[in-house]
Amino acid sequence: MGQSTTNSDGTGNVSINGAVISTADILLNGNTSITFNPIALTTLQQQPSMAYYAKVPGSWKDF
């Protein structure tokens, strides 16, 4: 996998209500508050645009 870094250069307040998912490092400056909210993920999962299924070659195998 490649690498990427998200850098919020702002120095203000950041408030995230839900979840943060990343495959890379995240650097947030200023006052950061992340509050996990499982309802946010459930709502996202129930969106029609998220309701597709595709096999990805070389991905998960459950033996």
Q: What is the pLDDT of residues 10-24, one digit of tens each?
A: 566 778 888 887 777
Dist. CA 15–CA 31, nearest whole Å: 8
Instruction: Assess if residue 25 is contained within a domain.
Output: yes
Residue 59 sits at the vertex; the CA angle it makes with 26 and 47, to the nearest 5 degrees, is: 65
Q: Sort 13 into a burial class: Cβ within 10 Å, 0-12 / 13-18 / 19+.
A: exposed
Q: Indicate the number of domains in the chain.
A: 1
β pairing state of 31-36 and 5-8: unpaired
pLDDT at 49: 81
Q: Is residue 50 part of a domain?
A: no
Q: Mean pLDDT in the chain?
A: 74
13 lies in some domain: yes
Domain, as residue range, for 30 = 5-39
Side-chain half-sphere exposure of 52, counting CA atoms within 13 A: 5
- pTM of this structure: 0.49
Token digits of residue 22: 């990343």
Residue 2 binned pLDDT confidence (cut-offs 50, 70, 90) = very low
Percent of the chain with pLDDT over 90: 3
